[in-house]
Structures are given as structure tokens and as C-alpha cells.
A and B are shown apart, each in its own frame.
Chain A
């Protein structure tokens, strides 16, 4: 079937964007245990910062860097100024979800108030196309793919080669235990927010680059797809999130071959519900448990 190869291409692009966001989401959720409903709004606002930079005639790649930086700082401040005070004053899981819901409303509509409901496009390179293994990619798509691979490799190196990354994994596995073992939790939490914000910013820009025209609501339902990938991979497990992103990327794009393409995201939702029901600990939980016993 001639549709298979292009669909693989689309799937890889979707998975790349999703992986960037899902890894960011899962690192933060795993370390802090806060279900941050405002994550997609960090993506959106960062992507619009990139648009602002881009509209000044500066390359979108610089814009992406700025967006990453903006996302990182925004996330850090959100934690410092909002979540941390609430946690200190004794707000529980339930209350924090409400707070993040309020924050999501503020950021999303704040951006909407500034930009208006119109549609925007980045000034990005067009036209060029490459054939890779029989799949045709545009220049942008190839760049997104590359950015995702580089970012994932960086996350991998951070988690395995640095003390900080190891501390982060320890916090994710059991924060009380990590604290007992002398891991500086507050710093790890800060880094988790920074990293997750940076990835959110980059993911936001790539998401918007990959759509013909974007608006404030473009990433609206994306949060649930991100959560689906993160939970599918097991909360806190960066590699699981990558795997989850791949699975959901392929599942959604290939479902479009058989179903009305409007149901594409619905497929991700259904996967999430099924995972929550039968395996809320994620697909890789068995590996994770085995790994812990070994080390």
C-alpha cells in the first residue's frame, strides 16, 4: 500500500513532538507528583514567544531557543510562586489539581487576550524535501525529527551520566527515600521544573511548526495526548514516555488510514483510558521493577 510509507513518516513526526512534551511532563510529574494541567499552556505561551521573536525577522531556530528558555523560567516560577507556597501551606493533591486548573485558565486566556483568536504561521524555511529510506520529509519535518533525537539523547545523558540526573531518577522512584539518602530534593525539583519547561517550550514550537496555521487553542487537547504518552510509559519514566510517544504517534496516524481522521486524537484518549484501566503503572513497569532490583 502506497499510504504506508508516508504514514510512517507522519507517525515519526507526531511521535517526535509528543516525545519532547511527554518526557518533559513525565520528569516533572514523576519528581513532584503534581498533575500540572497548565503544561500545555506553558507550551502555547512559549511557542507564541517564539512567534514574537520570529516576527522580528529572527530565525525560528533562535526563536525555539528563546521559547525553551522562556518555558524553563516560566515553569520554575510557576513552581516557586504558586505550587510550592500551596504545598507548604498544606494543600493536598486534590487542591493542587484545582490550582493548576486555575493557572491553566489564566495562561491560556492571557495568551488569547494578547494574541486574539486569529491564526498564525512561523516564518520558516519551506519547499525543500528529502527522501529518507523512501519516506519524503520536508526540511522542517527533518529538523523536528533531529531536534527530538538530540533532546532525547541529552535527557538520556543527563539521567545516566550526571549526579543530578541520578538524583532525579531517585526522587521519581521514591522521594521520601531519596531525601533520606541525602539527595537535595528542593534543587532536584527546581531542575525538574526547568527541564520540563524547556522541553515544553521546544515541543510547543515544533508542534506549531508542524501545523499549517496555529492559534491559542491548537495545543488545547494536546495535554491529554501528552498525559496518555506519559502514563502509558509509566509516570516518571523518561524512556517509557519516549516509548509511549512512539506508540501513540503511530497509533493515531495509522488509525487515520482506517477511521475518520477527526478521530485521530480520540484514539490517543481511548489508549489512555485503556491504560489507566488495565495498567496504570505503565507498560514498562515490569522493566523498571527489574532494573531496581539489579542496581
Chain B
């Protein structure tokens, strides 16, 4: 990942138009439009039940919207399944830790590496093991460096299911990073992480942004959002009620109302 050229920052990378989704006749997402520019860090905030996670699921391709379109890098990806979006750099994390419990921490990270030779049934029998291993060696170095950064190198060979809740959250972020994201969708990445570690995770997210990764994160802690995010999208009751800076959002009547009512 190299830093984006200055002129690329701010170019639209993802634009969703009037996304809708309903659950048992209730519109949980009702005509949501979101524009995301390259190289920026966005917060998606709003009270519980606002439909934030559903929007993230739709953007990641995990849920199919009943209406609306999504364009990514100028291409209509509305009908793309989750794995195809991921292969083109749209990588998401989950609200509830979704680690591969009976894989080790290192394996969790290695699974994420894109275009790893020997990762399809055809390549297993057509490419020599040397080729898989060479690439895997490079990935291992990266994975270990990432773990070291969060003081988790001692856990490298532990089963991911045996990590503490906070470590699972960090693993989830690191795994997403190993997948070489262009657009990172983080669903409450800081929930359950110990306050002392939060700052280093935030630093890391800023660093990712500098390297050119665009980030959209759902976050409840508004203080964090304020210091971290370039812009916020506020949702309430399935619609977007505000787009702009966090400072501005704090002064908006409808935003305050939504939080009080929610």
C-alpha cells in the first residue's frame, strides 16, 4: 500500500443511491444515499436501531437491498456478491467478532491474503508448493509485523477463539488489513477494546488513511468520532439526517433530537 497521490484524495470511490431494506414489513433502511471520497475517514453514527449495520451489510454485499444502487469506482456493483466486492478491495469487519475460532491467529491473518497461489482447487494441483510458500512467507512477515504492533506476537500460534474479546476485535481489524482493502468498512471496531488500546487503534486507522485506505466506520463513542473522522453521516430511523463535520453535527437540532428520541 503506498500513499495516494495528492490529487487522488477526494475523488469519489463509492456512491450509494436510495438504498432500502425492510425486515418483516418494517423499513429499516429507507432511501439512504451515501457518497464516500477516496482517502478519507468517515464515521457512520446514529442511535441504536437507526439501520447503520444494515447499510454496512448492504455496502459489503452481505445483504441484498430491496431498492437502490451502489457504485464503486464508477462501476455498478449493486448485484455483486460479498466475495466479489471483497476481491475488489471492499473489506468489512463485523459488529460481533467473527473470527475463525479453530484457526490460529496467524492463520486468521493469512486466510485474508488476496491472490494467494494455491488457494483454489485448480491451483493446488497445477502450481508447485514452492510458489505457494514463497508468497506465504512474505505474508507471514507482514502478519507478524502487524501483530507485533499491537503486542500480540505472543498469541500468533494460539487459536483465535481463545483470545480475549478485545484481542478478537483487534485481530478482526488486522485481518481486514491483510486483505489489502481500498475501502474499509468497520462495524464498531473499538467496541470491547480496552481504553488504553483504543488510542493506538485510532492511530493505526489514521495511518491507514495516510496510506490511502478509505474508511467508513460505525462508532458509538462520539468523542472518538470527533477526533478521528473527517466527516460523519448521521442516520436515524432508517434515513440519513445529516452529512458533514462532527462539530457541525453536534449543533444540528435534528441530530440532537434523534439521539434524545433514540
Contacts and interface: CB of A to CB of B under 8 A. Distances in A.
Interface of A: 289, 292-293
A289 to B, nearest CB: 6
B227 interface: no
A289 B24 CA distance: 7
Nearest to B25: A293
Contacts of B24: 289, 292-293
Contacts of A292: 24
Interface string B1-42: 000000000000000000000001100000000000000000
5 contacts: A289-B24, A289-B25, A292-B24, A293-B24, A293-B25
A293 B22 CA distance: 14
A289 B25 CA distance: 8
Nearest to A290: B25
Nearest to B26: A293
* Interface range, B side: under 10
Nearest to A289: B24
A293 B25 CA distance: 8
A292 B24 CA distance: 9
A293 B23 CA distance: 12
A292 B25 CA distance: 10
A293 B24 CA distance: 8
Contacts of B25: 289, 293
A69 B24 CA distance: 39
A38 B25 CA distance: 37
A45 B24 CA distance: 41
5 closest pairs, A vs B, by CB?
A293-B25, A289-B24, A289-B25, A292-B24, A293-B24
A64 to B, nearest CB: 40
Contacts of A293: 24-25
Nearest to A293: B25
B204 to A, nearest CB: 33
A53 B233 CA distance: 72
Contacts of A289: 24-25
Nearest to A288: B24
A10 B189 CA distance: 61
A241 B24 CA distance: 22
B130 to A, nearest CB: 36
A108 to B, nearest CB: 32
B98 to A, nearest CB: 15
A293 B26 CA distance: 10
A174 to B, nearest CB: 10
B48 to A, nearest CB: 15
A65 to B, nearest CB: 41
A271 B128 CA distance: 47
B14 to A, nearest CB: 32
A273 B229 CA distance: 50
A292 B23 CA distance: 12
A256 to B, nearest CB: 40
A245 B88 CA distance: 48
A291 to B, nearest CB: 11
B76 to A, nearest CB: 28
A38 to B, nearest CB: 28
A292 B26 CA distance: 12
B161 to A, nearest CB: 11
A232 B251 CA distance: 54
A175 to B, nearest CB: 16
B165 to A, nearest CB: 16
Nearest to A292: B24
A94 to B, nearest CB: 13
B144 to A, nearest CB: 31
B110 to A, nearest CB: 25
A200 B24 CA distance: 33
A147 B24 CA distance: 36
Nearest to B24: A289
A167 B175 CA distance: 43
A42 B26 CA distance: 41
